[in-house]
């Protein structure tokens, strides 16, 4: 499922909407606004792609695939599989990945896999290179996007380095919750994000639920007491 801008036939409306969305979501708009030409250049390069649950966006160790921008659904960045699976991050709406291997010219160290059905925008390696090289504002904006990811990665690091499993779990829940205080992750995935095992995470979640801090249901957790969780973390 691929749609692409065809030069000479007018811009693909889906790509134009996608470009406007990128202009809002990637990096910090407040400080580095994108001009109309930047958005138009984006619209000419973006493809839209749909992925089935379990489908791989790019695999660890393979040649660089391209840049993915998630419009809906969840994407898991993980290393290893089975009992040794370590989850680096979960991408949701507005998140970007795949650019780092291109910038550093090295294969991605982790595998990106769709959890749900996922709708993405996609930039080929060549298009990404061209855009970053030719459009200064876009490069500047991309800089803030990568910086934000670095900050978030360092945040995870801090979360993992300190405290008991309860504290780590509390922090992770606070970090991963969406606006409404919901976390749509299986307990196995949460365990893989913490470097812990599922039974241990299950026990901790049970305790947090008993304390009235969260509500646990199937593949989903709701935060009830953000303050309380913060105190634990």
What is the binding site for DNA (CB under 7 A)?
Answer: 83, 164-166, 186-188, 195-200, 202-206, 216-219
How many residues make contact with a second copy (CB under 8 A)?
43
Region near a second copy per CB under 8 A, out of 76-84, 116-124, 203-211, 216-224: 76-84
Burial class (CB within 10 angstroms; exposed 0-12, middle 13-18, buried 19+) of 76: buried
User: 28 is in the binding site of which of a second copy, DNA, none (Cβ under 5 to 8 A by kind)?
Assistant: a second copy
User: 164 is in the binding site of which of a second copy, DNA, none (Cβ under 5 to 8 A by kind)?
Assistant: DNA
User: 35 is in the binding site of which of DNA, a second copy, none (Cβ under 5 to 8 A by kind)?
Assistant: none
Q: Which of 10, 161, 180, 218 binds a second copy (CB under 8 A)?
A: 161
What is the distance between the alpha carbons of residues 167 and 64, in angstroms, rounded to a whole number? Answer: 36
6 lies in the binding site for a second copy (CB under 8 A): no
Q: List beta partners, residue 165.
A: none
Measured at the CA of 218, the angle between CA 76 and CA 55, to 5 degrees, comes to 30
3-state secondary structure of 129: helix
User: 200 is in the binding site of which of a second copy, DNA, none (Cβ under 5 to 8 A by kind)?
Assistant: DNA
Among 68, 75, 77, CA closest to 128: 68
């Amino acid at each position: 499922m691929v749609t692409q801008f065809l030069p000479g036939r007018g811009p693909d409306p889906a790509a134009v909407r996608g470009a406007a969305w990128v202009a809002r979501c990637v990096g910090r708009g407040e400080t580095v606004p994108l001009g109309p030409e930047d958005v138009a250049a984006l619209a000419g390069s973006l493809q839209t792609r749909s992925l089935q649950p379990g489908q791989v966006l790019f695999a660890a160790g393979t040649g660089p695939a391209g840049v993915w921008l998630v419009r809906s659904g969840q994407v898991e960045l993980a290393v290893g599989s089975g009992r040794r699976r370590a989850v680096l991050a979960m991408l949701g709406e507005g998140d970007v990945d795949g650019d780092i291997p291109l910038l550093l010219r090295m294969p991605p160290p982790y595998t990106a896999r769709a959890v749900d059905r996922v709708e993405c925008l996609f930039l080929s390696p060549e298009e990404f290179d061209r855009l970053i090289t030719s459009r200064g504002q876009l490069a500047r904006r991309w800089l803030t996007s990568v910086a934000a990811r670095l900050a978030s990665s360092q945040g995870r690091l801090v979360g993992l380095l300190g405290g008991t499993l309860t504290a780590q779990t509390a922090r992770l829940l606070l970090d991963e919750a969406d606006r409404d205080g919901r976390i749509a992750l299986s307990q196995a995935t949460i365990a893989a994000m913490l470097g812990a095992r599922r039974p241990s995470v299950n026990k901790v979640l049970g305790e947090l639920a008993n304390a009235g801090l969260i509500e646990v249901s199937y593949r989903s957790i709701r935060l009830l007491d953000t303050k309380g969780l913060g105190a634990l973390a």
